[in-house]
Copies of this chain bind each other. A is one copy, B any other.
Amino acid sequence: MSLIVVGSVAYDGVETPHGKVDRMLGGAATYIALSAGYFTKVGIVAVVGDDFAKEDVDLLSSRGFDLTGLERVPGGKTFFWAGKYSPDMNDRETLRTDLNVFADFNPKIPAAYRSSPYLFLGNIQPELQRSVRAQMNGVRLTGGDTMNYWIRDFRPQLLETLKQWDFLLINDAEARQLSGAYNLRRAAAKILDMGPHTLIIKRGEYGAILFRLDTHFMVPGYLLEDVFDPTGAGDSFAGGFIGYLAGQGISLQEGEIDQAELRRAVIYGSVMGSFCCEKFGVDRFRTLTREEIEARYQEFKTCTAF
């Protein structure tokens, strides 16, 4: 496997102005893997209950993912989350969070995964993220996500974890909370002092910004005509970003940085995030082709070049 993805595999209940689905495949690791799978070989580390449906395993298998690390807990139930989006879909309310088997998730990295060069740590407890990193041998590029809960209540652990990361990929609210600075340029400078040499701040419909010590790169959000369901868009962005880097064999270590490839990775992230919103849940990834991805990449170029 080229890329190891650690995080939640879940069922989601989602309501948007376009409709309502009571239960469908979701979870950060699911979206990250489905998105990254267009660019590289992926191994998943996650936990599910024995209610996890065969058709969902089949979808993941059909992409060639290594599922050795997908632990199934007998008698357990899969993590369930339900939420409802505001009419403009820029906000959402969590209606239900049943952690179930995810509450005791203690990721074990299968032997066959340990020499993989790329590692993406989805949004889980920072100490678990660190323990995963410690189980890897010779990883070339480590990065991940986090969230408000860990930033607020597990700050020392999170700061310890971040020291080992090459990149951090979070949204603007999280960047502000983590840094204590409202202004994104100042926030980025503070975060780049915490360890990661690369920071990607996602801004939802407004795009994303890539920060490094002396430079930044901004991409506007793709202008969709219909946003059906934004669930998983940020994770799909992450999958496109890390997936592209892994697929190209790119390292972000200091001294061997290819700025142009890094920017392309941000665009592929944006492309994958935009596709994700076009249908409910993971549905867009059931039919999406690499040709459509390339066409949208070109569209980004056409819509931003001057």
Q: Which residues of A contact B (CB under 8 A)?
A: 88, 182-186, 203, 206-207, 209, 215-220, 223-227, 260, 263-264, 266-267, 301-306
Contact = CB atoms under 8 A, between A and B. Distances in A.
B225 A218 contact: no
Contact of A220 (B220, B225, B306): B220
Given A183-B225, A186-B225, A209-B220, 9 more contacts: A184-B223, A185-B224, A185-B225, A203-B206, A209-B223, A217-B304, A219-B304, A260-B306, A266-B306
Contacts of A224: 183, 185
Contact of A217 (B182, B218, B306): B306
A249 to B, nearest CB: 19
Nearest to A260: B306
A209 B217 CA distance: 18
A183 B303 CA distance: 17
- Copies of this protein chain in the complex: 2
B303 A217 contact: yes
Contacts of A302: 215
A38 B264 CA distance: 35
B304 A304 contact: yes
19 contacts: A183-B225, A183-B226, A184-B223, A185-B223, A185-B225, A206-B206, A209-B220, A209-B223, A215-B302, A218-B220, A218-B304, A219-B306, A260-B306, A263-B306, A264-B306, A267-B306, A304-B304, A304-B306, A305-B305
A133 to B, nearest CB: 30
Contacts of A215: 302
A186 B223 CA distance: 10
Contact of A306 (B206, B216, B226, B301): B301
A179 to B, nearest CB: 13
Contacts of A219: 220, 304, 306
A187 to B, nearest CB: 11
Contacts of A218: 220, 223, 303-304
A278 to B, nearest CB: 13
Contacts of A203: 206
A171 to B, nearest CB: 14
Contacts of A88: 182
A185 B206 CA distance: 14
B303 A216 contact: yes
Contacts of A185: 223-225
A226 B89 CA distance: 29
